[in-house]
Amino acid sequence: MEVGSLPVELWRLILAYLPLPDLGRCCQVCRAWRELVLSLDNTRWRQLCLGCPECKHPNWPSQPHVEPPSWREALKQHALATRTWTQNGPELQSSACLVFFRRRKDRRTWHVGPGCEFETLRGALGVAGPYDRVVLHPGVYEEQAELAIKVPVELIGLGTLGEVALLVCIEQQCPTARLCNLVFMPPWFSTVVYKTSWGHVQLDNCNFEGAQLQIRGPGTCQARFCSFSQSSSAHLIGVALSLLDSCDFSGSDIASVTVEGPPTSERNWACKHLAALTRTFPTCFVSESSGNLKPNSLSSVGPHPPGCNNKNSMSIDEWQKKVLLEGVCHSTVIEDGWSDGEHSEAEDDNLDSETGNKSISFTLDYKIPCDHHGLSHLLKPQTDGSFPLASCPDPPSETPEPLTFQQELERDPEANMLAASTLGCILRRCLFRDGKGGVHVSNYGQARLEGNVFRGLNYAVRCIQNSTIVMLRNEVCECRASGVFLRLSAQGLIAENNIHSNGEAGLDIRKGANPIIVCNQIHSGLRSGVVVLGNGKGSIRSNLIYNNKEAGVYILFSGNPVVSGNHIFQGQAAGIAINENGRGMITDNVIRENQWGGVDIRRGGDPVLRNNYICHGYSDGVVVGERGRGLIEGNHVYCNKGCGVWVMSSSLPQLLGNFITHNCMYGLAVFSNGERRGVEAEGRDGQENLNEEGELFAWESDLDSEDERHSARRSISVALVEGNCMSYNGAVGLYVKSSEPLNAFSNLVNCNRGTGIAVQQSSQLTRLVANCILENGRGGVAVEKDSRVELRGNGIYENGGHGLVFCGNGQIVENDMLGNCGYGIQVSGNADIKVLRNRVQPAQGCGIAVLGAVRGVVHDNVIFQGHPGNKKTLFIDLIYPYFSNTFASAFILENPPPRPQASSPGLSSSQYPSRLGISMTNRISATVENGCHSGSMFCTIL
């Protein structure tokens, strides 16, 4: 009969009445008939799948409203799974022909119930042969003593689920058995209703109510479409391989599934068939709420502010319009009395009206070339015509995207091996809800969790005592404590999960636990996203961590993870917080749009912070608070509403080679301890609740010694700022108001709106060595009174105000100060100073001006003629018994070349001039009055 003889719709209507065997025969007629039968997927195949009493909806229990990709495929997988218990089981030695009985279609069926062959289950099991079927009619069957299943048998409940209830304790003493459509309740003498220590049991569509399923290796278990309620649980001890698929766990008083002990080396016959079954089932199950983890499809994140996406093209003008005038930055203090480099009245009297703006033009005869200083490579256009970050007027427009899970597997063999492993207990597509615990893995146990949903528990997963867990594509939400908890050297792979809305941390890693955490979404938590403490470790890579109420990643109490390639954004506190001797390698992350600092380091925190993008924050980019340490190297810190980097003077960080640009306030600010109001309260509010389920949880400290902790790092006793670019910030490039020493070497400070470097308070020595301070909106360097500062080997060029305003104590040695709109050097107040071997060219105003009662030495300086229209004398009020400086009308910077001079490769801070106090022996004191002695009798003009 040809298909074309009738309309296709009519054929589909006819075929919809065929049973499953007839549909299979129709598929074998021809290709056209096969395609016709396959087209019945949403009609007849759906009816057959849902009509099977042993099978629930394929996406039950977590997503019964979601249609499967194919109803026919779902029915096929169910048929394959129901036959696992009969696959090549070992033959009983008593009879070699039992295989024929097992496979006979007319195997015996025994009926149990009122009016049937047997009144009790015990009687039926006493006469059942191998692979017989025992059918229990509706009713409640209670046994007063433990039952034993000694031959392979199949127990089937008749009717709908719930009509057959067993109050029994069964011990399986045979190779295999199957139980279907039954309700298990505990008898009076035991909570364990089924147990086996060497055989394989298959459970289909069964309910456990207040009962426990116990499997001990080398025994195995396969449970499908089962419900565990009213404090029921599954306890697997030393199992080599078991599969719990599409099960519902609810209302537990303990963990719903407990996996304990290492997988036994002895395996039963079913292990190879279970392993094949795990490979047969699809592994791409993803809950709707977890979504796709591609970084560009953050539907649950909400709309991003302009300029805050992974890719943005916002210019600095647009950014400033958006955030610069929005009010006071959170937790950032600007000293009200600080002039930020503004000119005093005395200075204004000595400057023309053009001073302070950049309208002065130079003729080539009088502009001394200084473009080839040691940091000029940071300012020159690149080969493709683009500007380097230090000189680009726009912030970076792109940030790196996190790697995909496949890319992570390709570069990490250990993660690849864990992703392919199938040892221990496998839980797939299960629902854990409304109880105390989900899965507990302990004492070298192994478990694999894939496509499960954990909701409304105290905790979802707990992995302890050297156990291994693999979590793929699960949803963990609304837990009252932490979602996933690992401690005591636990390890494993946690990938592509959606972990959100938990009462404590999404992931809690403690006491030597060392998991691999990649490509997850960790968001919307009521505390932190990931917490690592108590010597916890771990590799946290390529995750999306966002919208948590506390830190996205929180490291403390000697936690030492690797945090790499993550996007940490839109948090309501810090992006990453390192406190209480926390450590960590934090590299290549994008940390953006967080309410507090992008990275917050306090109280002994000592991380390596390298090559991160820290941007668009609503406070500071990096905060190094009280007793903070760390190596902060090669980071891009930009477009933050507060400072780029904020450092408390009691901390000892090393800032090396960072790009600190386009921040609304200071580029780098070093404050005294009391300068920032509310810091301690802020730090207390940000601490993670370290209690476990309401009780104080104690752990061994196991702190490393200080020598061991810092053995691989350059030991320092002074905060170090070296090789950084501080550009296009809204206020001062480098602001210092500190009570402790500071070393600033080889930094580029350019195009900031305020002064390049301002030292308002420095009771200890601040050393500014080999820096380039260029084209800042106000002065180059400003030093307030009572500050101790040494300037050596710096280049201070073309700033909008004075090159150097100095009111403190210290040395100004071998610097180049050229093209600044104000004075080259202004020394005033009660300064105690040495000004030696500098080269100065003022664009307008004096080369060196000494105002007020100044003590010190000024000699061996070279002062070049400024703009031809500059009528100011190159020297103001200089009366010294010993003075010798040189004036030049035209000269070039050849010997030595423009400062700062290029340092040799590998030059360390220890090769700079020694960090010694300023010696003022043999200094000569003189009083200098206001006014200028024309020509200055002590000047020699060449």
Host H or E run for residue 140: strand 139-142
Return the DSSP state at 84. Answer: G
Token digits for 828? 């005033």
Average pLDDT over residues 828-846: 85
- pLDDT the model gives residue 673: 66
- Distances in Å between the Cα of 559 and the Cα atoms of 443, 521, 706 are 22, 22, 15
- pLDDT the model gives residue 762: 86
Q: How many CB atoms neighbour CB 181 within 10 A?
A: 23
| Residue linked to tokens 């009493």 | 53
- Distances in Å between the Cα of 522 and the Cα atoms of 286, 483, 498, 500, 593 are 15, 10, 6, 6, 16
Query: Higher-confidence residue: 863 or 745?
Result: 745
Q: Which of 42-51, 298-307, 786-795 has the highest mean pLDDT?
A: 786-795
Average pLDDT over residues 482-502: 96
Host H or E run for residue 417: helix 413-420
> Whole-number mean pLDDT of the chain?
79
- Report yes or no: 623 and 599 within 8 Å, Cβ to Cβ: yes
State the greatest distance between any 2 C-alpha atoms of the chain, in Å, as a whole number: 132
Q: How far apart are CA 342 and CA 350, in angstroms?
A: 14
Could you tell me which of 575, 648, 580, 571 has the C-alpha nearest to residue 609? Answer: 575
- Report yes or no: 111 and 131 within 8 Å, Cβ to Cβ: no
Query: Higher-confidence residue: 857 or 555?
Result: 555
Which distant-in-sequence residues (6+ apart) come within 8 Å of 24 by Cβ? Answer: none
pLDDT digits (tens, 9 = 90+) for 239-263: 999 999 999 999 999 999 999 999 9
pLDDT at 902 over 70: yes
pLDDT at 288 over 60: no
- Report yes or no: 271 and 262 within 8 Å, Cβ to Cβ: no
pLDDT digits (tens, 9 = 90+) for 509-522: 999 999 999 999 99
- pLDDT the model gives residue 70: 77
As a whole number of Å, the end-to-end CA separation of the chain is 116
Q: How far apart are CA 773 and CA 425, in angstroms?
A: 63
- Report yes or no: 187 and 167 within 8 Å, Cβ to Cβ: yes
- pLDDT the model gives residue 5: 66
Q: How many CB atoms neighbour CB 139 within 10 A?
A: 16
Burial of 593 per CB tally in 10 Å (0-12, 13-18, 19+): buried
Q: How many CB atoms neighbour CB 386 within 10 A?
A: 9
Token digits for 858? 């000024």
Angle of helix 20-27 versus helix 31-38 axis, rounded to 10: 140
Angle at the Cα of 553 (from 549 to 554), degrees rounded to 5? 90
Angle at the Cα of 29 (from 23 to 35), degrees rounded to 5? 70
| CA-based R_g, the chain, Å | 38
| Domain residue ranges of the chain, discontinuous segments joined by + | 15-84, 191-280+400-537, 756-878
Average pLDDT over residues 721-735: 96
- Report yes or no: 759 and 780 within 8 Å, Cβ to Cβ: no
- pLDDT the model gives residue 697: 39
Token digits for 848? 């060196």
pLDDT at 724 over 70: yes
pLDDT band at 831 (very low <50, low <70, confident <90, very high): confident
Strand, helix or coil for residue 906: coil
| Residue linked to tokens 């600080």 | 338
Token digits for 200? 């394989």
pLDDT band at 868 (very low <50, low <70, confident <90, very high): low
Q: How far apart are CA 253 and CA 481, in angstroms?
A: 15
The β-bridge partners of 855 are: 832, 925
Could you tell me which of 597, 693, 262 has the C-alpha nearest to residue 442? Answer: 262
- Distances in Å between the Cα of 921 and the Cα atoms of 183, 791, 857 are 96, 19, 11
Helix extents (H) in 262-344: 271-280, 316-319
**Secondary structure E strands in 376-423:** none
| Main-chain phi, psi angles of 736, to 5 degrees | -125, 125
Q: How far apart are CA 628 and CA 125, in angstroms?
A: 71
Could you tell me which of 254, 241, 154, 258 has the C-alpha nearest to residue 206? Answer: 154
Average pLDDT over residues 294-313: 39
- pLDDT the model gives residue 29: 75
pLDDT digits (tens, 9 = 90+) for 107-146: 799 999 988 989 999 999 999 999 999 999 999 999 989 9
Token digits for 222? 């396969």
pLDDT digits (tens, 9 = 90+) for 335-388: 434 444 444 434 444 444 444 444 444 443 456 778 888 888 888 887 777 778
pLDDT at 326 over 50: no
Which distant-in-sequence residues (6+ apart) come within 8 Å of 105 by Cβ? Answer: none
**Secondary structure E strands in 844-936:** 848-851, 855-864, 875-876, 884-888
Return the DSSP state at 356. Answer: T
Q: How far apart are CA 119 and CA 110, in angstroms?
A: 11
Q: How far apart are CA 757 and CA 750, in angstroms?
A: 10
- pLDDT the model gives residue 370: 81
Q: How many CB atoms neighbour CB 31 within 10 A?
A: 8
pLDDT band at 557 (very low <50, low <70, confident <90, very high): very high
Characterise 460 by phi-psi region: left (phi > 0), alpha (psi -120 to 50), beta (else): alpha
The β-bridge partners of 810 are: 789, 833
What are the counts of helices (DSSP H) followed by strands (DSSP E) for the chain?
14, 74
